[in-house]
Amino acid sequence: MERLEEIVAQMEGDRLPLDEMVASYEEGMRLLKVCRQRIENARRRVEIITADAEGKATTAAFDPALVEASLPEEKSRPASPARRKKPVESEEDPDDIRLF
């Protein structure tokens, strides 16, 4: 991850020759792929520890859908309809031409 951050900083800050920039980009993409694989592997290993009726701890595979379903939903207010302001009636002569 540290090397990936170095590559990004170098590409954003320095004026690199095109061939070095392409090489840095390719290295960054390889490192990004490794990072994503590690995250996916970690996600698969996550388990939820639960207690049964007797208080004995058991493990279950992590299921993001179950976690999301158990979270309380935020109560959202219905959006109030947009209100249009009434035009201010002018005391000036309606035949007068005004630019602003």
Count of the separate structural domains present in the chain: 1
- CB-CB contact of 50 with 58 (8 Å): yes
Q: Which domain holds residue 47?
A: 2-70
Residue 13 lies in a domain: yes
> Residue 57's pLDDT is what?
77
> Residue 61's pLDDT is what?
72
> Residue 41's pLDDT is what?
83
Query: How confident is the model over 72-90, as pLDDT tens digits?
Result: 554 445 555 555 555 555 5
> Residue 49's pLDDT is what?
65
Residue 90 lies in a domain: no
Residue 24 lies in a domain: yes
Query: How confident is the model over 38-66, as pLDDT tens digits?
Result: 998 887 777 666 767 787 877 777 776 76
pTM of the model as a whole: 0.45
How high is the mean pLDDT of the chain?
74
- CB-CB contact of 26 with 7 (8 Å): no
Measured in whole angstroms, the distance separating CA 10 from the mean position of its chain's CA atoms is 25
CA distance 8 to 60: 39
